[in-house]
Amino acid sequence: MAAGAAAGRPRRGVLPGFGLAMGFTLTYLSVIVLIPISTLVWKSASLTWAQFWSTATGPRELAAYRLSFGAALAAAVVNLLFGLLLAWVLERYAFPGKRLVDVMVDLPFALPTAVAGISLASVYSKDGWLGRWLEPAGIHVAFTPLGVMVALTFVGLPFVVRTVQPVLHDLSPEIEEASATLGAGRGQTFLRVLLPELLPAALTGFVLALARALGEYGSVIFIAGNMPMRSEITPLLIMIKLEEYDYAGATAIALVFLTASFSLLLLINVLSWRRGAAAELPA
Amino acid sequence: MVPTVLAGPLGQPGPAGAGAAAAGALPPAARSRHLGESRAVRWLLIGVALAFLVLVLFVPLLAVFAKALAPGAAAFAAAVRDPDTLSAIRLTLVTAGIAVPVNVLFGLAAAWAVTHFRFAGKNLLITLIDLPFSVSPVISGVIFVLLCGARGVLGPFLAAHDVKIIFALPGLVLATMFITSPLVARELIPLMQAQGDEEEQAALTLGASGWRTFWHISLPKMRWGLLYGVVLCNARAMGEFGAVSVVSGHIRGVTTTMPLQVEILYNDYQFAAAFAVASLLALLALATLVVKSRIERRTL
């Protein structure tokens, strides 16, 4: 509806303060968020399409994308499986220390990434607490893509747990009881009755964990090894380009990466929209 | 709700069945025995889950403190009192001290505008508020370098007026404000939407001005959500690494925050000192978790 004359404009609300609140909000958003982000688009517009493509898809860049996406995907899958398990165990069972565990699941949210980074790097190094058992067994974690995956599993841990827990909590026991009265075993009940209920929330958590893992920097650079073409993640490559004053290269790679993250966010919104729509169907 | 009174396989009554029909969710102990997994399966699942958590979560956390304290308390104190570390601590506190209050103001303003008024483009505004969440930290820093760096869009302008943003405190503060801007708003918007505005409207009818209403009615209503948002915002602001790493230039003693100082010490092979500073940050994280769980318990 076009903003017509004041007399014909519908009232926005009865409370005062709209002008002040909106004004501050929009100013802040523009200065801190919108203008900086638009710089990215502006700067990349100075490249021709061909230049953009060649900068963003060189062999080193492709290797970095492969590592970033591959490790993030693997870590998100691990977090999907163990997140479901953790949510189940936290909601359904009682055991000593359960409250502590529940609180600690949020640790990756609260812990600075650099702290996690040096700790993981040192624990999995050759002489580290875990590394000293794994290295002789031939499992090299430090300075390999596997290390990247371990670090990304750490940062993504809370996502699936926290999206699945409320759904599990609100699940009424009747469907399980009905399944039992119809003769299903416990495993069957879980696979065919409960899992479909939990899957949308679990997938939302999966995509959230994936999005977080893609952009992760601090937890990864200490354990990664950072060798070009082998163990170099995309954010590090962007930083290196910036330090070399290759603004065009940094911009191009950043844009490609941003597009991927935004697409993921779109996916989350579509998934939760569908879940919302499904929830409105008659039970 | 169909009350189902199921008898257990050994003849025990199943009162939990009828109770569950009303509650919808039961504490684990009250569920009917026959409806759960066998004890063996249950403890196996708990064991695997805990083993995973210990390996991925607890071992790294404990390692921070163990390695910080390994060379002894005196060495720990010396590491913390090192001049570069002290200035890193100071810089972290200053950055958070600016970024968090400003983001609280932003969060309050945005939540007030979004929840109490109707206007076109509300969903777009909410998406824009969430935007920094979906941007990788390094890219967040890159954006500010592209804008305010020596070769950036505003570079020549800033150089002409001798204003340093990148590689100086303003750059750190800007990048931190960008990263943490959604945190308070995201906390307050659903809270205020759930709380509604009847009390505020009532206050208006009784003659209160906008500010009085806000100060005496709205703020107390949302104080736990606000505290929650502040705590999260602070933890993120103090712990931010990627974005700050890009804009800071790593100038020791001038533009290194605590996370950056951790990186510098670690790359210099001063492991004990690095873990000493890291342990301070880890303590902050644990305090954040404790406050978070206290607030959650209060509001449930």
ipTM given for this complex: 0.83
CATH number at residue A83: 1.10.3720.10
Please judge whether B241 and A36 are an interchain contact, meaning their C-beta atoms are less than 8 angstroms apart. no
Over residues A219-247, mean pLDDT: 84
List the single range of A96-110, A157-171, B18-32, B98-112 with lowest mean pLDDT. B18-32
Which residue range(s) make up the domain with A124? 58-275
CB A232 within 8 A of CB A226: yes
Share of chain A above pLDDT 90, in %: 24
Nearest CA in chain A to B267: A222
A22 vs B contacts (CB less than 8 Å): 109, 113, 117, 119
CB atoms within 10 A of CB B243: 29
A1 is a domain residue: no
Q: Which of A11, A44, A177, A216 to mutate to test the interface with B (most CBs of B within 10 A)?
A: A177
Average pLDDT, chain A: 84
- Res A112: pLDDT: 94
Q: Is the pLDDT of residue B8 over 50?
A: no
Question: What's the rounded Cα separation, in Å, for the pair A219 and A120?
Answer: 8
3-class secondary structure, A240: helix
B139 vs A contacts (CB less than 8 Å): 40, 215, 235, 238, 254, 257-258
Residue linked to tokens 């020791």: B252
Q: Is the pLDDT of residue B298 over 50?
A: yes
Nearest CA in chain B to A153: B56
Return the closest-CA partner of residue B67 out of A103, A113, A125, A137. A125
| Residue, of B299 and B2, whose pLDDT is higher | B299
Q: How many CB pairs under 8 A join A and B?
A: 297
3-class secondary structure, A52: helix
A78 is a domain residue: yes
Minimal Cβ distance to B200: which of A15, A115, A118:
A15
Query: A119-167: per-residue pLDDT in tens?
Result: 999 999 888 888 888 888 888 888 888 999 999 999 999 999 999 998 9
Query: B68-86: per-residue pLDDT in tens?
Result: 998 888 889 998 888 989 9
- Res A78: pLDDT: 95
Question: Distance, in angstroms, between A58 CA and closest chain B CA?
Answer: 19
Question: Tokens at residue A219, please?
Answer: 């937890």
Q: Which of B200, B241, B260 to mutate to test the interface with A (most CBs of A within 10 A)?
A: B241
Return the closest-CA partner of residue A151 out of A87, A66, A212. A212
A42 is a domain residue: no
Average pLDDT, chain B: 83
A139 is a domain residue: yes
Return the closest-CA partner of residue B237 out of B110, B131, B101. B101
A250 vs B contacts (CB less than 8 Å): 142, 146
A29 is a domain residue: no
A17 is a domain residue: no
Domains and CATH numbers, chain B: 71-299 (1.10.3720.10)
Question: What's the rounded Cα separation, in Å, for the pair B298 and B300?
Answer: 6
Residue A13 CB-density burial (10 A; 0-12 exposed, 13-18 middle, 19+ buried): middle
Nearest CA in chain A to B150: A245
How is chain B split among helix, strand and coil, in percent rounded to 5?
A: 75, 0, 25
Please tell me the pTM assigned to this model: 0.83
Please judge whether A39 and B153 are an interchain contact, meaning their C-beta atoms are less than 8 angstroms apart. yes
Residue B250 CB-density burial (10 A; 0-12 exposed, 13-18 middle, 19+ buried): middle
Question: Distance, in angstroms, between B106 CA and closest chain A CA?
Answer: 6
Based on the structure, what is the number of domains in chain A? Answer: 1
| Residue, of B67 and B152, whose pLDDT is higher | B67
A106 is a domain residue: yes
- Res A283: pLDDT: 41
A16 is a domain residue: no
The gap from C-alpha A183 to its chain's centroid, in whole angstroms, comes to 39
Interior angle at CA B12, CA B9 and CA B18, nearest 5: 100
The gap from C-alpha A35 to its chain's centroid, in whole angstroms, comes to 25
Q: Which helix (H) or strand (E) holds A121?
A: helix A113-123
Over residues A196-214, mean pLDDT: 87
- Res A11: pLDDT: 64
